[in-house]
């Protein structure tokens, strides 16, 4: 497994644009460029977070129903690999992406719902690999929470753990323990 690199948020120059400018198509190239920059820095990245990063860089609050089709169209044509997360949301990948997860440094904030299940699964894989043994759900979840930098668990983290544990890289033994 490749060496883990910390997760960092893409830094984009802020532009002041209007929704009408986006809808007109005159900013399509700029939006495409910004999407690719975010993917290069943050991939794998869920569609919702990708759109949020670009929208915020354009001084807008959200992707409304008039703007969403523009973003969908541009994102669909990006020259990157696109997969689907456990919840059906598109996940964008950069070229030569390794099979590792990225711990979030204390200086950044990344919520569990923003992390693709596939990336969380590689965290589980790394934990099991380091331990060199099968693990119970309780053991693995406890280490997962600590490894991802969360202070406590809740529904969102339970959901991420559950989705990650169902990914193909994680296996279950006959007695319900986790292995790789």
Q: Mean pLDDT in each 10-residue stretch from start to end of the chain (180 residues)?
A: 68 94 95 96 91 93 84 95 86 79 70 85 91 92 87 86 92 91
Which pLDDT value is given to residue 99? 66
- Give pLDDT, residue 147: 84
Buried b (16+ CB within 10 A) or exposed e, 132-166: eebbeeebbbebbbebbebeeeeeebeebbebbbe
Q: What per-residue confidence (pLDDT) applies to 86? A: 74
Q: Taking the model in full, what pTM does it have?
A: 0.76
Dihedral sign, Cα of residue 123, residue 154, residue 54, residue 81: positive
What is d(CA 67, CA 84) in angstroms, rounded to the nearest whole number? 22
Q: What is the pLDDT of residue 9?
A: 86
Please enumerate, as own/partner, the contacts of 70-79 that have beta carbons within 8 Å and a separation of 24 or more. 70/22, 70/23, 70/25, 70/28, 70/31, 71/31, 74/28, 74/31, 74/32, 74/35, 75/35, 75/47, 75/50, 75/51, 77/32, 78/32, 78/35, 78/36, 78/39
Q: What is the pLDDT of residue 2?
A: 45
**For domain 19-93, which architecture applies?**
2-Layer Sandwich (3.30)
């Amino acid at each position: 497994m490749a060496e883990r690199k910390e997760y960092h948020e893409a830094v984009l120059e802020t532009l002041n644009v209007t929704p009408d400018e986006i809808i007109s198509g005159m900013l399509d190239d700029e939006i495409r460029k910004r999407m690719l920059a975010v993917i290069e820095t943050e991939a794998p990245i869920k569609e919702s977070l990708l759109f949020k990063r670009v929208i915020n860089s354009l001084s807008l609050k959200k992707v409304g129903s008039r703007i969403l089709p523009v973003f969908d169209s541009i994102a669909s044509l990006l020259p990157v690999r696109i997969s689907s997360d456990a919840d059906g949301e598109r996940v964008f990948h950069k070229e030569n992406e390794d099979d590792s997860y990225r711990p979030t440094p204390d200086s950044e904030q990344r919520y569990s719902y923003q992390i693709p299940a596939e990336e969380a699964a590689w965290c589980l894989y790394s934990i099991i690999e380091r331990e060199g043994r099968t693990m119970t759900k309780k053991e693995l979840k406890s280490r997962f929470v600590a490894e991802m930098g969360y202070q406590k668990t809740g529904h969102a983290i339970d959901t991420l753990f559950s989705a990650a544990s169902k990914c193909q890289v994680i296996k279950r033994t006959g007695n319900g323990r986790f292995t790789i």
